[in-house]
Amino acid sequence: MQQWYDNAIIYQVYPRSFQDSNNDGLGDLEGLLQRLDYIKKLGVNAIWINPVFTSPQVDNGYDVSNYFNIDPHFGSMATMNALIKRAHELDMHIILDFVLNHTSDQHPWFQDALKSPKSLFRDYYIWEQTKNGQVPNNWGSFFGGSVWAKHPSEKNTYYFHLFDQHMPDLNWANPEVRQAMIEVAKYWVEKGVDGLRLDAFIHIAKANLHQDFPSSEKGAVIAEPMYANLPNVVTYLQEFINELRKINPDLFILGEGASAGPELAALYTRSNRGNALCDGIVSFRNLPKERLADQDALAMKLKLPAKEKLDLAQLPESIVHWQTSLAQTTQPTLYFSNHDMPRMATAYGDSEYLERSLKTLATMQYLQKGVPIIYYGEELGLQNVELERFTAFQDQTVTALKTQLSGREQTAVLHYLSQTHKTPARQPMPWDDTVNQGFSEHEPWLRTATKQVTVAEEEEDPDSLLNFYRQLLHLKQQELFANGEFRLLTAPTGLLVYERYLAGKSALIVTNLTRESVSYSNDDWTNADIIYTVGQVTLADNQWHLAPWSSIVLKQDQLPWL
């Protein structure tokens, strides 16, 4: 049976940066509500909203202190209700970001658990005792340092946190925790949300804590095999999702499996009990990347993440791998970036052919079989903004760098991090040329001097990226591009070519992802109609000649091999 999400086209909104309605410098739900028509016009039918529950905002809402309410920064439950209602009137679906691996340390469960080993909530979290003041094991947190933090008053007692120390991990081995999280999720499903994005779900099961992770390094080390993708993840997940689907069988579950490649994504979307696992997976491994040859020496010395670009040699195989691994269960998700990564234009755009390269990349990516996820502002070609202060990154490891560096080094590192870090990709949406680009009358939470292209400017220009995205996403809604079969064709490196076909109709997508001009011929397609081209494409001697970063999309009312 077809579900609404088989044809989903998702727009990701980072709510603190989308639209500020009460002029406090932070975006909010009322602002998002006011902009729903803009989102609808793009051609999407679902909105994924990053967390808006009550939170001390240590990690921008991924540290939840009350799952049953909206953080006052973002508005009220009444506004959330209105947002869901209006989105539904516009035939759009709401997907909430649901944080289930950890809570905030301000959550009443954790506050109670801290009080005494006998607290009824003690076993909601993961505790260890040691004898000599040493941490229980050498496992490292994704946010730096050990996964263990000291209990504030009980000697030699530690709690487990995979992310910030103010975000203690829940103990999913405890059935009470599993039931409590089901109750929280039910509340939102009953309220009418259409989907949940399960944050960090691959970490809900942990290995035996009484062991170090083998490593030659001293101190804490990232130990994924100890806390990622363990077999109980599927067990817990299945129970959780089963209960929710009893309320809404159409509930869309988008799992965040940071380290999942195609096989794990298939595992998390497969089920032997009907439709009881995820419907889509987002991960950091969706695109093959290679390190840029000219790495910054200082960045390397400081062990900052390397600059990367698309690995064109690996791209065809990667695409086929994702497409075939998920073919029996669901559809791949198609995206370039999100709030945890540098922006698409910064990471993959070609500065010499910026607009054209972004149009061709979007063509290559979103016309594949799968569910597009567009990160807000991508449709404008937004780039990472330049942040001029270390504290602006809101990341302790970045703040700590400053003291180690000379003045000149600081400038270089700030510039480098502005290209590679996640925070400069979370900038306020630039709507127009009024104060703070129409985002807020108050200074925005993320201060930046970077001049950005605005929605208003792009509205005016028929060839703008914004208007291109609108056309592309409307094309994507057609059955052929939503549900048609996918077939990759052999082509030289840098030229990505594939077909889609369905019920006697087919399309050919040819994208040149390089700065070189290339030619391509395919006898099955010489008499086909052009849907659109990007850049310069000419036909001569039965060959398509594609200038740098150009692309062409063709269609015909027959299958290519007939």
**Cβ closest to ligand NOJ, residue 200 vs residue 315:** 200
**Of 20, 59, 243, 355, which one interacts with ligand NOJ (CB under 6 A)?**
59
Q: One symbol per residue from 62 to 91: x for binding ligand NOJ (CB under 6 A), - otherwise; what is it?
A: x-----------------------------
Residues 6+ apart with CB under 8 A from 243: 182, 185, 186
Chain residue whose CB lies nearest ligand NOJ: 62
- For ligand NOJ, the closer CB: 196 or 482: 196
Q: How far apart are CA 381 and CA 527, in angstroms?
A: 34
State how far the Cα of 561 lies from the Cα of 558, in Å rounded to an integer.
Answer: 9
Find the binder of ligand NOJ among 33, 99, 126, 508 (CB under 6 A).
99
If the CB atoms of residues 200 and 205 are measured against ligand NOJ, the closer one turns out to be: 200
Residue among 200 and 287 whose Cβ is closer to ligand NOJ:
200
* C-alpha–C-alpha distance, residues 287 and 494, integer Å: 14
Closer Cβ to ligand NOJ, 62 or 366, answer by number: 62
Q: Which of residues 241-270 bind ligand NOJ (CB under 6 A)?
A: 256
Active site residue 224: no
Q: Cβ distance 377 to 469 under 8 Å? A: no
Residue 479 φ/ψ, nearest 5 degrees: -50, -40
Q: Is 256 a catalytic residue?
A: yes
The least CB distance from residue 392 to ligand NOJ, in Å, is: 17
Interface characters, 189-218, with ligand NOJ (x: CB under 6 A): ----------xx------------------
220's torsion region: left (phi>0), alpha (psi -120 to 50) or beta?
beta
Sign of CA dihedral 413, 311, 331, 535: positive
Binding test (CB under 6 A) with ligand NOJ, winner from 190, 217, 263, 340: 340
Burial 209-239 (b: 16+ CB within 10 A, else e): beeebeeeeeebbebeebbbbbeebbebbee
When the beta carbons of 223 and 507 are compared against ligand NOJ, the nearer one is: 223
Looking at the chain, how many residues does it have? Answer: 562
Q: Which is nearer to ligand NOJ, 87 or 425 (CB)?
A: 425
The distance of Cα 516 from the centroid of its chain, to the nearest Å, equals 31
CA atoms within a 13 Å half-sphere pointing along the CA-CB vector of 202: 22
Binding of residue 375 to ligand NOJ (CB under 6 A): no
Distance of closest approach, residue 525 Cβ to ligand NOJ, in angstroms: 41
Position 181 contacts ligand NOJ (CB under 6 A):
no
Smallest distance, Å, CB 171 to ligand NOJ? 17
Contact between 110 and ligand NOJ per CB under 6 A: no
Q: Is 163 in the site for ligand NOJ (CB under 6 A)?
A: yes
The CA–CA distances, whole Å, from 166 to 59, 108, 339 equal 9, 13, 20
Which of these is catalytic: 194, 199, 379, 395?
199
Q: How far is CA 478 from CA 336, 496, 500, in A?
A: 22, 22, 11
**Helix (H) or strand (E) run with residue 487 in it:** strand 485-489
Residue 142 Cβ, how far from ligand NOJ at the closest point, in Å?
7
The structure tokens 């740098």 sit at 548
Interface residues toward ligand NOJ, by CB under 6 A: 59, 62, 99, 163, 199-200, 256, 339-340
- The residues annotated with a catalytic role in the active site are 199, 256
